């Protein structure tokens, strides 16, 4: 419970406490920090009615926006899926993935915009 509270506080999900958190001796700017970081939760938050490819496309459209071409987004998606061993599951419904595959997809969805800071809550569970 305490570990999850610390993670929630660090990624600004929990607001029940007062204080500040510094990073590299500087007080964190909340909106800038949220753009630099991501949080992989213990429980996978996947849309069961989407395929792996569809979920990645939604994430790339949301995180990369319209400034990045469709082809460039597809390259990013392909590289991430290959790196995480999910390429052969592109057309698999997320609900049909194994537990480990679901966790890797959760990570893949957050890697789309290449965040420099990643928080993991039970990444191997």
CA nearest 34: which of 43, 47, 23, 46?
A: 23
Residue with the bigger pLDDT between 19 and 119: it is 119
Q: What was the pLDDT predicted at 74? A: 97
CA nearest 102: which of 111, 118, 89, 115?
A: 89
Q: What was the pLDDT predicted at 45? A: 73
Q: What is the number of residues in the chain?
A: 125
pTM here? 0.72
Give per-residue pLDDT as tens, 73-102.
999 999 999 999 999 999 999 999 998 999
pLDDT at 18 over 70: no
Domain residue extents for the chain: 48-124
Q: What was the pLDDT predicted at 51? A: 97
DSSP characters for 34-78?
Answer: HHHEEEE-SS----TTSBHHHHHHHHHHHHH-TTS-HHHHHHHHH
pLDDT band at 2 (very low <50, low <70, confident <90, very high): very low
Can you say how many angstroms the Cα of residue 92 is from the centroid of all Cα atoms in its chain? 19
Give per-residue pLDDT as tens, 26-81.
777 666 666 666 666 666 678 889 999 999 999 999 989 899 999 999 999 999 99
């Amino acid at each position: 419970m305490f570990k999850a509270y610390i993670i929630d506080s660090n990624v600004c999900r929990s607001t029940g406490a007062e204080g500040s958190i510094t990073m590299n001796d500087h007080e964190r700017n909340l909106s800038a920090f949220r753009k630099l970081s991501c949080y992989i939760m213990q429980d996978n938050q996947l849309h069961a009615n989407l395929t792996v490819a569809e979920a990645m496309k939604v994430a790339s459209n949301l995180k990369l926006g319209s400034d990045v071409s469709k082809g460039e987004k597809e390259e990013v998606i392909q590289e991430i899926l290959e790196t995480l061993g999910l390429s052969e599951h592109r057309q698999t419904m997320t609900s049909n993935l194994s537990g480990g595959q679901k966790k890797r997809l959760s990570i893949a969805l957050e890697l789309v915009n290449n965040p420099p800071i990643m928080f993991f809550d039970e990444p191997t569970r």
